[in-house]
Homo-oligomer: A and B are copies of this chain.
Amino acid sequence: MKNYVILNVVNEGRVELHDQLGLTGAEISINTLPAGVGVPFVHYHKTNEEIYYVFDGKGYVVIDKEKLEIAAGSWLRIAPEARRQFFASNDASISYVCIQVKGNSLEGYTMTDAVVE
């Protein structure tokens, strides 16, 4: 198997990259909610930390009943146990990347994990 996988992704509502990229330490999805639309349920995670990056549009997220405005450029880390629900604003869609990783799984990074040749 090659040491890399490369993709060019066209956004189509929801794209899941785990299998396409052969990921072993994360799941990544690309999501778009049309204006006025929200994810139709509240969810939390058993073990996974979620990191959200809004790359287009605007909307809001409700975390443990607190409402937070988000827009292109927003980065958000949500602990596994937090109850969350994402919504587009009424007058604009929102597009975001969601990265799922196992909480407390990272042991080292950059200076302690990378080797320069």
Chain A residues within CB distance 8 Å of chain B: 3-10, 16-18, 21-29, 41-49, 51, 53, 55, 63-64, 68, 70, 73-79, 81-83, 97, 99-110, 113-117
A27 to chain B, nearest CB (A): 4
Q: Which B residues lie within 8 Å of A25 (CB)?
A: 48-49, 101-106
A74 to chain B, nearest CB (A): 6
Q: Which B residues lie within 8 Å of A4 (CB)?
A: 63, 68, 76-79, 82
21 residue pairs bridging A and B, Cβ less than 8 Å apart: A3-B78, A3-B79, A3-B81, A5-B77, A6-B75, A6-B76, A9-B75, A16-B110, A18-B109, A21-B76, A22-B77, A23-B77, A24-B49, A24-B104, A25-B102, A25-B104, A27-B110, A44-B117, A45-B115, A46-B113, A101-B106
